[in-house]
Amino acid sequence: MKARIAVLPGDGIGPEVVTEAVRCLEAVASKYGHGFELPQAPVGAAAMDLTGEPLPAATLELARSADAVLFGAIGDPRYSDPSLKVRPEQSILGLRRELGLYANLRPAVTHPAVYHASPLKPELLAGVDILVVRELTGGIYFGEKTRSEESASDLCAYTAAEIERIVRLAGRLAASRRGRLTSVDKANVLETSRLWRRVVDRVMAAEFPQVSVEHMFIDAATMHVLRRPADFDVIVTENMFGDILTDEISMLPGSLGLCPSASLGEGTRGLYEPIHGSAPDIAGRGIANPCGTILSAAMLLRHSLGLKREAAALEAAVARTLADGVCTGDVAKPGAKAATTAEVGAAVVARLA
């Protein structure tokens, strides 16, 4: 197949890890006979340095014209002051809004070769394969806000339609995996959660009767994903709960550098990026872990291009690379020689071939 993939490397280590993901996409195209066009454009602080804007019109137009977007990382210490009117982070928020991306997917898969890098005991990590589906555009982050010298408020609001679309996506994903969905809320306290639970039950019963559904309060969920992580399949939850829960779950694989993500909307186009930041303290040193970005590229193949076989092959190549001990310093075994960013990328390409 032919596909146009917008490549937005961004700031810090973004260009380094994106370079390796692009190498892997080119290797996939070569092996399976596809034609991938991979035009690049600046975003974040890199774009601000060139144009004064974190999301230039040309970059947005490229993203709109593409079948999918591969994103690196954004952020620069020069623009860290939260009072600044223009900041690099506005680029990713703008992309999500303009592309209509309302669902954030974050997988957490553990690999035996790097169990030592996780804070959990190895016996808890066997067989962990969790996919969190987080609602991305509603809830308390986007509700009406007020603040005075003596008080402040943030409104948490959801409509049934907003809940339906995220639950429908989570249901499809659960049906294609192990058939289990855990919906996380706080229905013992919050009205939004009571609506959430009611909509989950209605949508799942009508459209995905083959999927087993479990409801769990957010406080219990934060405990159980550490106590028995292998029991979870797909988790669906609202914006703030998902923000907190996905950061906790990201510790299971052993490093932020191993964790990919996808942001999806109604169509097939999505934005794919590692969950780590721009890490300016290690930028340019060739030590950043590219696996999260490479695995994000695998998600791109699966969800936007429909290339499930190719996605699985790329994920398997990453797993074999880790199993063979070709690891950057964040997950290398104590005393082992750490590989560079480029060496890990080359190792994945070799194992894919």
User: What is the CA angle 330-336-340, rounded to 5?
Assistant: 55
In our burial notation (b when 16+ CB lie closer than 10 A, e otherwise), range 281-297 reads: ebbeeebbbbbbbbbbb
Residue from 31, 32, 129, 141 carrying the catalytic annotation = 141
- Residue pair 97/299 in contact (Cβ under 8 Å)? The answer is no
Q: Is 141 a catalytic residue?
A: yes
Cα→Cα distances 286→12, 20, 93, 282, Å: 11, 11, 28, 8
Three-class SS of residue 333?
coil
Residues 6 or more apart in contact with residue 176 via CB below 8 angstroms: none
- Residue bearing tokens 């020689």: 337
Q: Following DSSP, what letter does each residue of 226-278 receive, concatenated?
A: HHSGGG--EEEE-HHHHHHHHHHHTTSSS-GGG-EEEEE-SSS-EEEEESS--
Q: Is 186 a catalytic residue?
A: yes
Residue from 219, 324, 333, 337 carrying the catalytic annotation = 219
C-alpha distance across the termini of the chain, in Å: 19
Q: Is 272 a catalytic residue?
A: no
Q: Is 243 a catalytic residue?
A: yes
- Residue pair 304/292 in contact (Cβ under 8 Å)? The answer is no
- Residue pair 321/270 in contact (Cβ under 8 Å)? The answer is no
Residue from 49, 145, 247, 308 carrying the catalytic annotation = 247
Residues facing residue 263 across a β-bridge: 104, 271
Burial of 63 (0-12, 13-18, 19+ CB in 10 A): buried
What's the CA gap between 34 and 26, in Å, rounded?
9
Residue from 154, 201, 231, 243 carrying the catalytic annotation = 243
Q: Is 158 a catalytic residue?
A: no
Chain Cα centroid distance, residue 229: 18
Extract the tokens encoding 148.
């005075």
Residue from 79, 158, 186, 272 carrying the catalytic annotation = 186
H-type helices in the chain, by residue range? 14-32, 45-51, 57-65, 90-98, 122-125, 160-176, 191-207, 218-227, 239-249, 291-303, 308-323, 341-352
Residues facing residue 154 across a β-bridge: 145
Which residues form the catalytic set? 141, 186, 219, 243, 247
